[in-house]
Chain A
């Protein structure tokens, strides 16, 4: 995993709204933009514009943390944790392991 990919992952994780979107997609995979907006109203009690959520999803998708598929003519989003494992192996674990040894 190169630095650009690591940057994309850590930048994507560096926002509470994006982390919450991932939490929700982990709990219930395969949601449309509309559903993600609706559940953000339900769970956070505040609504972000569709445009804002759409931009968050683009960033998560670029980082590989969100995968999309089509259900009929509707685009569905799901969480993919594989890039997180790779980021952990490529950088986080290096320091976590060192920490444990001392």
Chain B
């Protein structure tokens, strides 16, 4: 058994695709029309055959309260790994991405959190070796 896809609920799929590709730098993998919505996935350039991220429509009535509750407490909906957090933080900030937590140490990782503009907070982590 393998994890081939994971998802974040997004307010608007088109807007999400722009953010996740133009700002974050992921690439479009699948874009399949599905009724009013799309089966829309992106992958990392570093692992194009790796796990896909599904930008899932957030229409279900449970999604709004679920996302709000997470954002209220500052809890990320997804977590992505980077090799150099400070560099990535600088790059994304230049692109106008809003960070709610600037890079900080958290045990065996360094982490930061930003707003994906689609109703989610996203965590970036850099693994700290030798800790």
Contact = CB atoms under 8 A, between A and B. Distances in A.
Interface of A: 31-35, 38-39, 41-42, 45, 50, 54, 71-75
Interface string B59-95: 0000000001001111110000000000000000000
Contacts of A42: 104-107
A38 B75 CA distance: 10
A71 B100 contact: yes
Contacts of A41: 106-107
Contacts of A72: 71, 100, 115
Contacts of A34: 73-76, 101, 113, 121
A73 B101 contact: no
B17 interface: no
Contact of B68 (A32, A71, A73): A73
B106 A38 contact: yes
A32 B123 CA distance: 14
